[in-house]
């Protein structure tokens, strides 16, 4: 509907977004109603909240990737290995990417 009325949209692969914890702690366990996600760290959040964090993080990670050369992206992947596989990117991946971008380069 948003595209129909003229808004710009961007599609993001939603695979594993609700299955992975947004803090990077790994897979979550869902309750029988599938609405709550228990992280391996013991935190319990709504599964849709965690998924929306991960979806938005994938959008911004892809925006960073598109804005830089392949060579610089590969050097960032060496610093943050989880960026190599898109279906495992979470909010913690975006935070790690930003931290890697902010670290000064040693010549």
Domain boundaries, the chain: 1-107
Q: What is the pLDDT of residue 13?
A: 87
The rounded Cα 83 to chain-centroid distance in angstroms is: 9
Q: ∠83-84-88 over CA atoms, to 5°?
A: 65
pTM: 0.86
| Sites in the chain below the pLDDT cut of 50 | none
In the chain, what is the straight-line distance between the N-terminal and C-terminal CA atoms, in Å? 50
CA neighbor of 46 nearest in space, from 10, 13, 21: 21
């Amino acid at each position: 509907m948003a595209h129909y009325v003229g808004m710009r949209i961007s599609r993001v692969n939603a695979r594993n977004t609700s299955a992975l914890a947004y803090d990077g702690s790994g897979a979550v366990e869902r309750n029988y109603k599938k609405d709550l996600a228990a992280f391996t760290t013991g935190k319990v959040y709504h599964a849709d909240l965690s998924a929306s964090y991960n979806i938005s993080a994938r959008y911004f990670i892809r925006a960073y990737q598109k804005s830089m050369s392949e060579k610089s992206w590969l050097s960032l992947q060496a610093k943050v290995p989880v960026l190599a596989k898109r279906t495992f990117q979470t909010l913690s991946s975006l935070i790690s990417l930003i931290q890697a971008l902010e670290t000064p380069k040693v010549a």
